[in-house]
């Protein structure tokens, strides 16, 4: 995100002259070899990496008891039976709107995060960031830190270089393979699928999915890295619309850092009372940046705001005995206030953050209410298309329907079926014959049951061409009911 024009003019007045930017339609990738850093933001990133990857890889093995007829996997997308299980929640295909609600909730949460603290999603939580961090850690482990890797890149091929490259790519492929493997475990009983995969008895689609995900993880996190954020992801281009001058962003404090110069030169200038900034131009912030940019040129689209340049700079400042925070999370508003000699302000509560908060609360509340009021019984009715009605030999009129009874509970249930809206009519189940005006229907646990229903209007009954009728089912044990409307057609 570029700095606002007003702020840019303030900052750039003190900033060193830079060459005018040139743009080309195609740019070959410049390999970036970021150096390792220690610090607050790096520690936060490690913690998030461990927690999110542990959840991703282990969640399919978490068990959740639902009853004898239900799967015991806590999180499961059961495509074969059209069910989604999430701990105590079980969603049917008709309830896909919960997923829509979740996506809307996620979008508003992302907007709120952006309005408060810029691209923290990109810098800390995005899967691309997390896996790239993991792949970088492996690279560092095998090939060493930035300087060693640069040397290795420049060195001619040798047995050592070959061994290191093979080791790195093998570990990357192993992680990518396990990432794909963990993904398919969300679609079947995990322990069973692991056994079937190992004994080559799993379905072909599982192997194909693992193969595709191995390839995408390896190429996106291992080979393409920052290219994904820079060229493939639309979010860097959109996210600026959700920020304003009070949104936090990793910022180089020009007012403190400039004019930059070597530590010795700046110390000498300061001793003479001449203007000198705290930036010693050591480039540690640039070499630490996984996007390969110089934050001192202002906020740029490539910056994921991971904070690693701030950690690198804090390390330099600490060594020099200067206060940390030359690069830090800051707002445009506070940067401008500092230049005017005013104290910083924190304005987390603003119109846009309140609006996003209200939208999140509204959607969340609506989803919770819908979940709390969710019924476990359902009925749908579908009138025969042809014939619409049949006039029988005794003069009575017959209409046919296909009914579907939904039992969302994990136990077998018995329902009575009845018809309203057509006085004197008789209801008969072709699939469950019996002499009753309220036939009983047994539906297995967590399943649907299709019925063929026939409705007879007696001869001589006064009928409109179309009369609204209501089918109703009632659970014999609990009294839970559901109904479906349709029409009775007559000549
Ligand atoms: S400039 Fe700093 S915050 Fe931005 S991507 Fe680079 S290291 Fe991360
Ligand atoms: S790490 Fe800090 S001192 Fe070094 S170049 Fe970057 S901003 Fe300047």
pLDDT means over runs of 10, the chain (491 residues): 42 46 74 96 98 97 90 95 92 90 96 95 96 98 97 97 98 98 97 96 96 98 94 92 95 94 89 90 96 94 95 96 96 94 94 97 96 93 94 95 94 94 90 70 93 93 92 96 96 89
What residue owns the CA closest to ligand 1's atom 5?
303
Contacts 24+ apart (CB under 8 A), 408-412: 408/90, 408/92, 408/375, 408/376, 408/377, 408/378, 408/446, 409/376, 409/445, 409/446, 410/66, 410/67, 410/68, 410/69, 410/70, 410/445, 410/446, 411/67, 411/69, 411/445, 412/442, 412/443, 412/444, 412/445
Q: What is the pLDDT of residue 15?
A: 43
Q: What is the pLDDT of residue 20?
A: 58
How confident is the prediction for the chain on average, in pLDDT? 92
Ligand 1 atom with the shortest distance to the CA of 288: 7
Helices 332-339 and 5-14 cross at an angle (nearest 10°) of 50
Q: What is the pLDDT of residue 438?
A: 79
The label of the residue with tokens 């790519």 reads 169
Q: What is the pLDDT of residue 94?
A: 86
25: buried, middle or exposed (CB in 10 Å: 19+, 13-18, 0-12)? exposed
CA of 310 to the centre of ligand 1 (A): 8
Q: What is the pLDDT of residue 387?
A: 92
Compute the C-alpha angle 133/136/139, nearest 5°: 155
What residue owns the CA closest to ligand 1's atom 3?
305
Q: What is the pLDDT of residue 30?
A: 84
CA of 295 to the centre of ligand 2 (A): 9
Q: What is the pLDDT of residue 430?
A: 81
The answer, yes or no, to whether any atom of ligand 1 lies below 6 A from the CB of 308, is yes
Q: What tens digit of pLDDT does each residue of 459-474 get?
A: 988 889 999 999 999 9
Ligand 1 atom with the shortest distance to the CA of 327: 2
The label of the residue with tokens 């702020």 reads 7
Strand 75-78: give its sheet, edge to edge.
75-78, 83-86, 89-91
CA of 390 to the centre of ligand 1 (A): 75
| Of 367, 435, 447, 442, the residue nearest 407 (C-alpha) | 447
Q: What tens digit of pLDDT does each residue of 144-179 get?
A: 999 999 999 999 999 999 999 999 999 999 999 999
CA of 24 to the centre of ligand 2 (A): 29
pTM: 0.85
What residue owns the CA closest to ligand 2's atom 7?
279
Do residues 234 and 253 touch, judged by C-beta distance below 8 A?
no
Q: Which residues line ligand 2 (CB under 6 A)?
A: 252, 257, 279-285, 296, 312-313, 316, 326-327
| Of 290, 303, 292, the residue nearest 243 (C-alpha) | 303
Ligand closest to Cα of 312 equals: 2
Do residues 313 and 284 touch, judged by C-beta distance below 8 A?
yes
Share of the chain above pLDDT 70, in %: 94
CA of 326 to the centre of ligand 1 (A): 14
Q: What is the pLDDT of residue 21?
A: 61
Q: What is the pLDDT of residue 5?
A: 44
Q: What is the pLDDT of residue 412?
A: 93
Q: What tens digit of pLDDT does each residue of 122-152 get?
A: 999 999 999 999 999 999 999 999 999 999 9
């Amino acid at each position: 995100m570029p700095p606002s024009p007003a702020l840019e003019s303030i900052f750039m007045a003190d900033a060193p002259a830079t060459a005018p930017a040139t743009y080309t339609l195609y740019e070959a990738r410049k390999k970036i070899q970021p150096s390792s850093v220690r610090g607050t933001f790096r520690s936060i990133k490690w913690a998030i990496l461990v927690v999110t990857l542990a959840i991703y890889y282990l969640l399919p093995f978490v068990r959740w008891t639902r009853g004898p007829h239900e799967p015991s996997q806590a999180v499961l997308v059961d495509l074969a039976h059209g069910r989604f299980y999430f701990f105590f929640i079980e969603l049917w295909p008709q309830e896909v709107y919960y997923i829509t609600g979740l996506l809307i909730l996620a979008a508003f949460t992302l907007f709120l995060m952006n309005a408060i603290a810029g691209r923290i999603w990109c810098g800390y939580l995005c899967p691309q960031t997390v896996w790239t961090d993991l792949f970088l850690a492996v690279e560092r482990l095998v090939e060493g830190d930035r300087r060693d890797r640069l040397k290795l890149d420049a060195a001619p091929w040798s047995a050592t270089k070959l061994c290191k490259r093979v080791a790195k790519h093998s570990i990357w492929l192993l992680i990518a393979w396990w990432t794909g493997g963990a993904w398919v475990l969300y679609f079947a009983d995990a322990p069973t699928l692991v056994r079937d995969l190992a004994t080559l008895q799993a379905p072909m689609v599982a192997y194909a999915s693992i193969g595709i995900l191995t390839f995408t993880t390896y190429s996106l996190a291992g080979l393409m890295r920052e290219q994904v954020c820079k060229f493939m992801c639309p979010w860097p281009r959109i996210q600026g619309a959700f920020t304003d001058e009070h949104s936090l962003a990793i910022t180089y404090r020009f007012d403190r850092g400039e004019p930059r110069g070597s530590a010795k030169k700046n110390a000498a200038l300061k001793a003479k009372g001449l203007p000198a900034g705290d930036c010693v131009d050591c480039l540690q912030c640039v070499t630490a940046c996984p996007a390969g940019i110089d934050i001192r040129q202002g906020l740029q689209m490539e910056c994921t705001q991971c904070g690693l340049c701030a950690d690198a700079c804090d390390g330099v400042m600490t060594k020099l005995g200067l206060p940390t925070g030359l690069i830090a999370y800051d707002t445009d508003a506070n940067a401008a206030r500092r230049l005017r000699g005013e104290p910083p302000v924190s304005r987390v509560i603003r119109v846009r953050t309140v609006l996003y908060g209200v939208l999140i609360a509204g959607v969340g509340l609506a989803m919770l209410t819908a979940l709390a009021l969710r019924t476990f019984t359902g009925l749908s009715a579908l009138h025969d298309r042809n014939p619409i009605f049949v006039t029988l030999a005794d003069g009575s009129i017959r209409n046919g329907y296909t009914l579907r009874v939904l039992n969302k509970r994990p136990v077998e249930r018995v329902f009575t079926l009845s018809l309203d809206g057509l006085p004197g009519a008789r209801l008969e189940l072709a699939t469950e014959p019996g002499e009753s005006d309220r036939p009983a229907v047994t539906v297995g646990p967590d399943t649907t049951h299709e019925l063929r229903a026939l409705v007879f209007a007696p001869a001589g009954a006064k009928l409109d061409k179309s009369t609204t009728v209501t089918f109703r089912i009632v659970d014999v044990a609990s009294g839970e009911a559901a109904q479906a409307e349709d029409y009775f057609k007559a000549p």
